[in-house]
Amino acid sequence: MTPVFETLPSLPTRSGTQCLPPVASFETNFESRTSVDSHTAYTEFVGELDKSPSDTRAYRLIRLSNGLVAMVVHDKEESKACAALDVNVGSLADPQELQGLAHFCEHLLFM
């Protein structure tokens, strides 16, 4: 039996949940900045991010010129760097004719 998936009219979103900063739409509280090295324009969130009082890490929420929103976390006690990515889309957004596309693209992130 072939599984049948519903095609969504729009992508699911988690705006308004506790997972995102208070301004979940990312449309306000951003100020324009320019990187020192490459002179690339970006915007930075200047509002308050909700974090634990015992968390000593420094957080910056930036939006790049291509629209990608990234959270940069600085931990002065850590000697290694890491990255995480949330594309906020999955198999429910796969076109009917390309089932598995989201999973395939997930593997492209690790190349």
Sign of CA dihedral 38, 86, 94, 106: positive
The sign of the CA dihedral 74, 18, 93, 11 is negative
Q: How far apart are CA 104 and CA 102, in angstroms?
A: 5
Given the residues 6, 27, 48, 106, select the one marked as catalytic. 106
Q: Which residues contact 61 (CB under 8 A, 6 or more apart)?
A: 21, 44, 45, 49, 69, 70, 71, 72
Catalytic (active site) residue 106? yes
103 contacts: CB under 8 Å, gap ≥ 6: 91
Q: Catalytic positions, please?
A: 106
